[in-house]
Amino acid sequence: MDSRNDKSTHILNASSNLLGLCFVVLTSLKLFNISHKTIIDELTTGAIILFMASCFLSFLAIRGSISKSGRYENIADYLFISGIILLFLTTLLFSFNLIH
């Protein structure tokens, strides 16, 4: 594989896995009818948007031209870490009962 997009496959794999996890959380909140009581669904939706954009850009970095793939990979990397931080903060706030 090319060294120009060596992180893209890892970002795509991890983002898609975390995207699936976010969909499970969001569906569970809607299924148990508790999404209107917390802001967890809004925070999870934000993480879904970040992970989806990260998946899309990392795919473009793998399939795209050499000149643009590095930029796509860097943006996907930043979006991925932003999604991770958002999920971490959500979990932290929920664990300390700051989100009801």
* Cβ-Cβ contacts under 8 Å for 99 (sequence gap 6 or more): 38, 39, 40, 90, 93
Q: Yes or no: say if 72 and 60 are a contact pair by the CB < 8 Å rule.
A: yes
**Tokens 């209107």 found at:** 36
Q: How many CB atoms lie within 10 A of CB 2?
A: 9
pTM, rounded to two decimals? 0.87
Tens of pLDDT, residue by residue, the chain (100 residues) = 445 557 899 999 999 999 999 999 999 888 988 877 788 889 999 999 999 999 999 999 999 877 888 999 999 999 999 999 999 998 988 888 776 6
Domain boundaries, the chain: 3-95
